[in-house]
Amino acid sequence: MSKDYGSFPGTRPRRLRTSPAMRRLVAENRLNPAELILPAFVREGISEPQPVSSMPGVVQHTRDTLRKAAVEAAEAGVGGIMLFGLPERKDAVGTAGTDPDGILQVAIRDVVSEVGDRLVVMSDLCLDEFTDHGHCGVLDDQGRVDNDATLERYAEMARVQADAGVHMVGASGMMDGQVGVIREALDGIGRQDVSILAYTAKYASALYGPFREAVNSSLQGDRKTYQQDPANYREAMRELALDLAEGADIVMVKPALPYLDVLRKVADEVDVPVAAYQISGEYAMVEAAAANGWIDRDRTITETLTSIRRAGANMTLTYWATEVAQRL
């Protein structure tokens, strides 16, 4: 006969788990469509969207299908869209990235004209999609990424993206001093209203593989000399202090799930909004496991996004943004 513990009413946390309504009532963290950001790829020179094989459900958009995706996201209540441009031609310095008529600048104008301010229109400010070597900056004569020469290119990118009408730029290249240079470039053309999302702690992760297919990457080598070492934690705090001092409006941790500890620490340290990027490899793993019947896809998506929210992110870039917003 089991012992009667009814005389200990204060020791029963299960009372608050008794029903879906009760669990919903006491939930400590909730997902909201407004905190989701949709990354979207637009490719020059195609007439039909091209599926990304390693990311089921994700495509390289045409200009027309990108407009439609932006409208769908806005109607679902998604907070923002992050645009990545895929040019037909690449070169050593990423000329297409600073061409006012390059695919990314054209896409910014397309989306802004389509959705106005119903979405925060963001753009990737980095050279990797535009260089024939696939690195996030220009190379010196020994084949190394030249930090300061790259900053000059970033300043020019900031100006052309702002001229195209972008609301926020995503400083993703992990060059020293990038936030300050971009802020100075924007302010110098009177675009103090354009904000900066700093990729503050962007780790040299093994989980970027599907993204490289999505952007037709031509990367030679790796990015370990400028992206952060996955072993390091204090280094992220140093990057955080620098980005804040240089004028970052929002700071971000990327990837999300493998770095929830870093995300929590960043969120505890700052008084600006904090973002996280649920990257391509995180997406692909869930989709692959679900396709094999190993996990419940929808529950897993919700659980992963909730964990990112619980760790302190105010907003999350996720390829499921529109789908999840519609479900919410």
Round to whole Å and give the CA distance between 319 and 31: 15
In terms of Cα–Cα distance, which of 154, 250, 153 is closest to 201?
Answer: 250
In terms of Cα–Cα distance, which of 201, 205, 188 is closest to 274?
Answer: 201
Q: Which two tokens stand for residue 307?
A: 């964990």
| 68 a catalytic residue | no
Torsion of CA 155, 167, 80, 123, to 10 degrees: -20
Which helix (H) or strand (E) segment holds residue 112: the answer is helix 103-115
Catalytic residue among 3, 68, 202, 224: 202
183-212 per-residue burial string, b: 16 or more CB within 10 A, e: under 16: bebbeeeebeebbbbbbbbbbebebbebbe
In terms of Cα–Cα distance, which of 57, 324, 61, 158 is closest to 70?
Answer: 61
Catalytic residue among 68, 90, 254, 265: 254
Q: Which two tokens stand for residue 22?
A: 């009760």
| 265 a catalytic residue | no
317, 68 Cβ separation under 8 angstroms: no
Active site (catalytic) residues: 202, 254
